[in-house]
Homo-oligomer: A and B are copies of this chain.
Amino acid sequence: MQKQNCMTMPTKGVMTVSNNNADVVKGIKSIAKEVYDKVTKKKAPSIKMPIRALNNVKYNPKIGFFELVGKMKERTLSASTVKTFAQSLLMMNESKKIVETDDIATKREMYYISKNWGDAMFNEQPESDTVMDDIEAMMMTNREQLGFIPEEKGGDVAGKLVVIDRDPDTGKEIKIDCTKFGSGAYSVPSSVEHLKFNTDAKFILAIETAGMFQRLVKHNYWKKANCILVSMGGVPTRACRRFIRRLADDMKIPVYVFTDGDPYGYLNIYRTLKVGSGNAAHINTFFCVPQAQFIGVTPQDVLDYKLPTHPLKDVDLKRIKDGVKNDPFVQSHKEWQKALDLMVKMKKRVEQQAFAKHSLNFVIDKYLPEKLKNQKSWLP
Contacts and interface: CB of A to CB of B under 8 A. Distances in A.
Interface in A86-117: 98, 103-106, 108-113, 115-116
Contact of A360 (B103, B150, B151, B176): B103
A167 B187 contact: no
Contact of A113 (B151, B188, B233, B357): B357
Contacts of A361: 103
A149 interface: yes
Interface stretch (A43-51, A178-186, A267-275): A178-186
A165 interface: yes
B151 A209 contact: yes
Contacts of A152: 210
Contacts of A351: 108, 112
Contacts of A110: 356
Given A113-B360, A357-B115, A360-B109, A104 B180 contact: no
B186 A181 contact: yes
A259 interface: no
Interface string A183-220: 11111111100100000000000000111001101111
A220 B233 CA distance: 27
A353 B125 CA distance: 12
B183 A168 contact: yes
A214 B165 CA distance: 14
A151 B355 CA distance: 16
Interface of A: 98, 103-106, 108-113, 115-116, 149-153, 156, 163, 165-169, 174, 176, 180-191, 194, 209-211, 214-215, 217-220, 223, 231, 233, 308, 351, 353-357, 360-361
Given A103-B360, A109-B353, A156-B187, 20 more contacts: A105-B356, A105-B360, A106-B215, A112-B353, A112-B355, A112-B356, A113-B356, A116-B357, A149-B214, A151-B209, A152-B210, A165-B183, A168-B183, A168-B218, A169-B220, A174-B181, A176-B180, A183-B194, A184-B186, A184-B187
